[in-house]
Amino acid sequence: MTMTHHEALSVLARHRGERVVVATMTSGGVWPALSDTGLDFVYIPSAMGHAPALGLGLALAQPRRGVVVLNGDGCTLMSLGCLVTLAAEKANVFLLIMDNGLYEVTGGQPVAGAGRTDFAGLARAAGIGRVYSFDTLAAWEAGAADALAGTGPVAVWLKVEGRLGQKTPKAPHPLTEQVRRLQEALGD
């Protein structure tokens, strides 16, 4: 049995350390219930596919801190070039690909290639050296500490349950407030 989005992100919350977490789309609706610090940036609205680029910029500016990017399968497919870019830049980014096979917040349409796309294989082919796949909560709980240790680039493919009827999440704070909080947390 796969894990829920909330279960998967609960594991992350226990292992994220002092890294910045960038959440979009479905993760943007789940993450604020698990963490609400200045190091959390919920990038909504209209962020589909953009989170890895934002995470890369933050990681280049704060290479020792590192950034966790919560990206959906659809978001990843929209910007496959992010995998090659993260590998080329040797960015301290941990890209968590939340694979539910659906565009949850736009009506539950199936993602192209749902159930057939090998995100771990794509990440390896792009040059990311540390790639992990977890399709159960027990496996993710057992492997999260290792997957989130050290520095990136790292890709983590998590199979999560899709839920129909989801609404577009709302950011927990206005964007200007999130930017201010992040700047303060990073000491900028």
What is the pTM (predicted TM-score) of this model? 0.86
d(CA 43, CA 24): 5
User: For each successive 10 residues of the chain (188 residues), what is the average pLDDT?
Assistant: 82 92 81 87 71 87 90 80 90 90 65 78 92 93 94 90 64 72 78
CATH code where residue 139 lies: 3.40.50.970
Six-digit token pair at 91?
Answer: 């960015």
pLDDT given at position 155 = 95
Instruction: Name the pairing type of β-strands 109-110 and 102-103.
Output: antiparallel
Domain span holding position 152: 5-186
Number of structural domains, the chain? Answer: 1
Six-digit token pair at 82?
Answer: 């992010």
H/E segment holding residue 177 = helix 175-186
Beta bridge partners of 158: 98, 134
pLDDT given at position 47 = 66
pLDDT given at position 167 = 62
pLDDT given at position 124 = 94
